[in-house]
Structure 1
Amino acid sequence: MDVLSDAIAAMRMGRPHSGLREKFAPWGVHFGTHGGAGFHVVLQGSAWLIPEGGEGQKAGEPVALGPGDVVFLAHGYGHALVSEPGVEVERFDLEEDGSWPDFPSPAARSDGRRPDTVLLCGAYRLDRARAHPLLSELPAVVHLPARVGSHPSLRGAVELLGAELADPQPGSDTIVSALLDTLLLYILRAWWLRERHGSGHPTGWAAALADPSVAAALHAVHDDPGRAWTVAELGALTGLSRAPFARRFAGAVGVPPLAYVTWWRMTVAGRVLREGDAPLRIVAQQAGYASEFAFAKAFKREFGVAPGRYRKVRVAG
């Protein structure tokens, strides 16, 4: 499995939501903190993003947005979108299903005036109880300015999504949902590529995925999490002996190789329990445990509850 795709799949819940918004200056909307992630794309005109900090963090600086700019708010911190700093804002919170509220967008005007700004906004529901470190280390605001020739796949996804939302046709619900998932991957890929090539010295998970040895080991673990991996075996895949590989992996990922293997196994198991009805015996086998008892013990140590209880609570919630 692709590590980036897997990291998203581990956290994604429910359906993503999106909508087109037409705004007439002066305007301002504020969104409260929520458990998911959101994005905004300026399709026409301009706007300012006013980010708020998370718990114990300072608020970010205002970000000027122009046509084609994309901003991604990975951690669900509160923020405002305004025509210009200082304008009065209307406050909104996401609905229980993770959808954006239907905040006013007065498209029809008696004077025939066209909107000053057209926005494409969207939100994703995420399970932050198992936040993958690749996504956890994202900055509060990922700003991808529009530049000629930059991120053509991302721009293409934005255009397709905007077209479907502007003129829904049979099948649009499924197409929009798929395009939103695609857009999320393109946004994260664009961030990763920028981190990898921008300064020439990537750090964190950008460095981990750019390191051929570490990336090969990560791909192997994600491809077959239930395998009885050893540090020596993972190192052999990368052409490194046990000790040098372990140091290199831990330095890039932040934890020793087998600690990550265990964490990822439990994350996959939690997702299977949350989304399916496979017997615990099958889930245990997929997670690499020889017995249901051993799996249940490891799962409770990781999650604090037995797997059966975890499934009931997650499905009910």
Structure 2
Amino acid sequence: MIVQDAPVGPLSDVLIGSGFSAACSVRLTAGGDWALRFRPIALKFNAVLHGGCWLTSEGGSAVRLDAGDCFIVVGRPFVLSSRPGLPAVDAAEVFSNSPICATYGSGDDVALLGGSVAFADADASHLLDLLPCSPVIRRGADGAAPMGWLLDQFDREWQEGRPGARAACDDLLRLMFIQGLRAHLSNADADTLGWLAGLKDPAVAAALRAIHAEPTRAWRLPELAAQAGLSRTAFAERFRNRVGRPPVEYAATWRMRVAARRLREGRQSVSAVAHELGFLSDSAFGAAFRRVHGLSPGRYRLASRRIVP
């Protein structure tokens, strides 16, 4: 059997480059009249196994959640409750005996599975800035079909407790989050998606895939227009309208994001990274890097090494 590398695209690049991982997996069962306030540090991703409840994010209105629905909350307080307006108890108190499993109230009117998603690197802002406060992915929404199977597998792993169950749950949570992003991409208005909106336009998506497939290449407008199958003028206007910046600028910025990742993670010299990225001199590389990151490559590497994960 021949196993080929999976195709790499813009969304995969951003997720990989941001150090995306599942930080933990939790289960909550609740019943009666109840309300819990969560104060997440990272991004929270959860799904309703059975029953229903209400989600109220900070500064937002209450949203009903039913079995099979999933939701994402990006680093801000939120309340889950049996009905809106009830006084909320700090969830940290409820999870004090076990950080991964808790029961609250009377009965099991609702059960939720999920946890926190962590991003190790600053590249995550390239994605998180595009998410609304608390997007809800409805069961049956376009792009959400695999979520039911993943949720069933998640619940089965949790309930059966077989060897490796915790690792399996964390990996399933990662897959559910990716499916949630895909569903959000399929259903959200294009003007709210930023650069992700380009993935919904076949011509622009072709250019984005080319940029991410060859990030070290100094892309020119005619080359990218050819990838999209459009004239230079039509492509430049279409790309800017969809992505929010000119195509060559996007390519140059992504090239520097790749450079930053290599400086953070590798042991190569700055000169070696510059050479790999196709620059003819260290000074040209340094100037391009400073325009995007505000620091020289050497200072950026030193600063990143001072940060303790």
TM-score bucket of the superposed structures, by smaller chain: 0.7 to 0.9
Counterpart-to-counterpart distance in 1, 2:84 and 2:177: 28
Counterpart-to-counterpart distance in 1, 2:34 and 2:301: 44
Letter of the 2:47 counterpart: V
Counterpart-to-counterpart distance in 2, 1:206 and 1:181: 19
2:5 corresponds in structure 1 to: none
Residues 1:136 and 2:129 aligned together: yes
For structure 2, the residue ranges without an aligned partner over 5 or more in a row are 1-7, 93-97
Letter of the 2:89 counterpart: E
TM-score, normalised to structure 2, is 0.83
Q: Mapping of 1:173-252 within 5 angstroms?
A: 173-195=166-188, 204-205=194-195, 207-252=197-242
Residues 1:164 and 2:171 aligned together: no
* Counterparts in 2 of 1:286 and 1:183: CA distance versus 1, 3 Å: farther
2:38 corresponds in structure 1 to: 31
Out of 55, 58, 70, the position equivalent to 1:49 is 55
Letter of the 2:51 counterpart: G
1:98 corresponds in structure 2 to: none
Find the residue that maps to 1:221 and give its secondary structure. Answer: helix
Asked whether the 8 Å contact 2:137–2:144 carries over to 1, the reply is no
* Counterparts in 2 of 1:33 and 1:226: CA distance versus 1, 3 Å: same
| Percent identical residues | 34
Counterpart-to-counterpart distance in 1, 2:107 and 2:238: 56
Q: Mapping of 1:218-297 within 5 angstroms?
A: 218-297=208-287
Residue 152 of structure 1: how far off its partner (Å): 2.5
Out of 10, 17, 22, the position equivalent to 1:3 is 10
* Counterparts in 2 of 1:184 and 1:232: CA distance versus 1, 3 Å: same
Select between 286-295 and 175-184 the one with higher mean Cα deviation. 286-295
Task: Output one character per residue of 1:280-299: Cα deviation in whole Å (capped at 9) or x when no partner.
Answer: 33432443423344323322
1:97 corresponds in structure 2 to: none
Counterpart-to-counterpart distance in 2, 1:153 and 1:63: 23
TM-score, normalised to structure 1, is 0.81
* Counterparts in 2 of 1:292 and 1:241: CA distance versus 1, 3 Å: same
For structure 1, the residue ranges without an aligned partner over 5 or more in a row are 53-58, 94-100
- Root-mean-square deviation (CA, aligned residues, Å) is 3.0
* Counterparts in 2 of 1:273 and 1:162: CA distance versus 1, 3 Å: farther
Asked whether the 8 Å contact 1:208–1:215 carries over to 2, the reply is yes
* Counterparts in 2 of 1:166 and 1:259: CA distance versus 1, 3 Å: same
